[in-house]
Amino acid sequence: YLIKVRANLSIVEMSASQVVPEYDVKFITTDSLEAQGIGNVQDESSTSSSSNDAKGSSWISAVFLIINAALGAGLLNFPHAFDQAGGIAVALSVQAVLLLFVVGALLVLAYCARQHDCATYQEVVLRVCGPRFWSCCSLAVALYCYGTCITFLVIVGDFSDRIFASLYGPSYCIHWFMHRDFIIVTTSIVLILPMCFSRKIDFLKYPSMFGVLAALYLVLLVVVQYFVGDSKSPGTRSSPNTLEDVLTAVPVVCFGYQCHVSSVPIYSCLEDRRLSTFAKAVLSATLLTALLYTVAGVFGYLTFGQGVASDILELYDARQPLVLVGILAMALKIITTYPILIFCGRTAVDDLYGQFRSLDEDAKRKRELFRRIAIVSIWFCTTVVLACLVPNISIVIRMIGSLAAAFIFVFPGLCLLFVSVKLDSYYYFAKTKWKLATAVLCVALGMFVFGQVLTMSVMDAASGHERAADVQLCTVPKLARLYSYF
């Protein structure tokens, strides 16, 4: 007991004198630590009453915010992931195991954010793990947002192919103005680019709420098409051929449930910041999200079997009004989400640049407009070009899914490791040893998934193996298309 008290007092004294001028102008004082309940200075009930003084969002609002952050493009690829994993039973088993880590990581991040009064994911890593891990985290956030932007633009091309193939016919691509590359470039410049240069993205909070409804509609569409559609399934798989088949489902699940970067801001805005309250929101949101992903994956896979595409909406007939509405709704969700991703990625890149150049706050403010325009312009142009070159979303999702594993396993595991060591540096308590073992397991598992899946994705992309998931909606040969353009 004395060891624990001394450890807690040393943490309070150390944190009271800690100053991080490069990243935050706030000083951490002993009073602020006591208000947060660090070192058992206050009990949880008194912390709750003090936090309730500041109005915030309810836990029900947090549920929908977490669902909105998790649901997205992963819905389109889940049925294909079920096929790659070796069938429904294997895919659901992989999902169930990963959900344990997903929920645990969210609670660890909330605990660390509460202890250090953090408002962002990167700030949690900075305060708990230090500047070096913060740099790695910021780089991972930038790369993840960059890859997701490419995925969204590829989906725009998939949607245009599906609509034109249904309404015009399989020879639509002979016309340059119906080609997916032209649609991607035009849609990006006209609809997406004007929203990307804004310094703030508050104006997108209402359109982004539409995203949850679009995702719900997509799930209902998949279920309805299973019962009323006329597609003939070529059969489903009952088991994986190799262990690598099982691993292919991991990045898709990680990509689908990655809401951890958004979870810290969501937690910081809660009116009641008790961990029990946030745990209630996390469990509710995870169960609802898992239900939607499972329904979409199971019914989508049963509908098309081993013939399922990487983007399931490519397989439906857009001449049906229900399908056309679903495609347009998901397209609107993507158009309004891309600027949010570029905002997060731009901020991460700008922070890394400021750290690399050792810029103070005044120097950052002086050329902020120039850096914002430069980063957005380069980001936008390169994502559009790569989206025109990538054949399907499966390749990109697997690559950025490996990064999502870092947000779910690696960084939360490191946070748990550092926090456990600080609270009990002598490893006196048995629970400390269990926490350390869990933290090491999470970090090791995350690094394995990241390295293995990323390597497999690069090798498959280089060999052209992922093109098997393509749906050839245009029947005109490429040479004939090129001849028609001129």
| Residue 51: inside a domain | no
Cα–Cα distance, 174 to 166 (Å, whole number): 15
pLDDT of 61: 86
Arithmetic mean of pLDDT, 289-309: 93
Q: Does any domain span residue 49?
A: no
Q: Do 14 and 162 sit in the same domain of this protein?
A: no
pLDDT > 70? residue 202: no
**Listed ranges 66-70, 119-123, 283-287; the one with the highest mean pLDDT:** 283-287
In a domain, 417, yes or no: yes
What mean pLDDT do residues 375-381 have?
Answer: 96
Number of domains in the chain: 2
- Give me the count of residues in the chain: 486
Residue 402 has pLDDT above 50, yes or no: yes
SS3 string, the chain, reads: CHHHHHHHHHHHHHHHCCCCCCCCCCCCCHHHHHHHCHHHCCCHHHHHHHHCCCCCECHHHHHHHHHHHHCCCHHHHHHHHHHHHCCHHHHHHHHHHHHHHHHHHHHHHHHHHHHHCCCCHHHHHHHHHCHHHHHHHHHHHHHHHHHHHHHHHHHHHHHHHHHHHHHCCCCHHHCHHHCHHHHHHHHHHHHHHHHCCCCCCHHHHHHHHHHHHHHHHHHHHHHHHHHHCCCCCCCCCCCCCCHHHHHCHHHHHHHHHCCHHHHHHHHHCECCCCHHHHHHHHHHHHHHHHHHHHHHHHHHHHHHHHHCCCCHHHHCCCCCHHHHHHHHHHHHHHHHHHHHHHHHHHHHHHHHHHHHHCCCHHHHHHCHHHHHHHHHHHHHHHHHHHHHHCCCHHHHHHHHHHHHHHHHHHHHHHHHHHHHHHHCCCCCCHHHHHHHHHHHHHHHHHHHHHHHHHHHHHHHHHHCHHHHHCCCCCCCCHHHHHHHHC
Based on the fold, state whether residues 121 and 19 are members of the same structural domain.
no
What is the pLDDT at residue 441? 94
Confidence of residue 484 (pLDDT cuts 50, 70, 90): low
Q: How many CB atoms lie within 10 A of CB 119?
A: 14
Q: Report the pLDDT averaged over residues 139-155.
A: 93
Mean pLDDT of 234-260: 88
Q: Are residues 234 and 375 in the same domain?
A: yes
Give the pLDDT confidence score for residue 135 in this predicted structure.
93
- Alpha-carbon distance 217 to 340, whole Å? 22
Q: Are residues 30 and 66 in the same domain?
A: no
Range 90-107 average pLDDT: 95
The answer to whether residues 23 and 96 belong to one domain is: no
Binned at pLDDT 50, 70 and 90, residue 16 comes out as very low
One-letter amino acid for residue 312 of the chain: I
Q: HEC states along 27-42?
A: CCCHHHHHHHCHHHCC
pLDDT at 467: 52
Residue 400 in domain: yes
Per-residue pLDDT tens for 463-476?
Answer: 766 555 566 677 66
Give the pTM: 0.81
pLDDT digits (tens, 9 = 90+) for 30-56: 333 333 333 333 333 334 434 444 467
Residue 120: inside a domain:
yes
Instruction: Say whether both 36 and 60 belong to one domain.
Output: no
Examine the domain organization and report whether 75 and 13 are in the same domain.
no
Residues 205 and 253 in one domain: yes
Q: Return the higher-pLDDT residue of 429 and 372.
A: 372
Most confident of 60-64, 222-226, 451-455: 222-226
Residue 377 has pLDDT above 70, yes or no: yes
pLDDT tens readout for residues 22-31: 333 333 333 3
Q: What is the pLDDT of residue 44?
A: 39
- The mean-pLDDT minimum among 292-306, 384-398, 434-448 falls in 384-398
pLDDT of residue 245: 85
**Do residues 200 and 229 share a domain?**
yes
The string of pLDDT tens digits covering residues 305-351 is 988 988 898 889 899 999 999 999 899 888 888 998 898 899 899 98
In-domain check, residue 139:
yes
- 192 pLDDT higher than 90: yes
Domain containing 98 — which CATH number? 1.20.1730.10
Mean pLDDT of 435-454: 92
Kindly state the percentage of the chain with pLDDT values over 90: 43
Structure confidence at residue 471 (pLDDT): 67
Question: Which pLDDT tens digit goes with each residue over 249-265?
Answer: 899 999 999 999 989 98
Statement to judge: residues 25 and 64 lie in one domain:
no
Bridge partners, 57 (sequence order): 270
> Each residue of 163-172: pLDDT tens digit?
998 888 888 8
Domain range spanning residue 71?
56-485
> What pLDDT is recorded for position 417?
93
Query: CA-to-CA distance for 386 and 462, rounded, in angstroms?
Result: 15
**Cα 77 from chain centroid (whole Å):** 14
- Say what the pLDDT of residue 448 is: 92
Bridge partners of 270, per DSSP, are 57
Q: How far is CA 472 from the centre of its chain?
A: 29
**Mean pLDDT, to the nearest integer, of 348-377?**
88
Confirm whether 192 is domain-assigned.
yes
Backbone angles phi, psi at 476, to 5 degrees: -80, 130
* Cβ proximity of 460 and 466 under 8 Å: yes
Same domain, yes or no: 16 and 107: no
Average pLDDT, the chain: 82
In a domain, 326, yes or no: yes
pLDDT, position 464: 63
328 and 209 inside one domain: yes
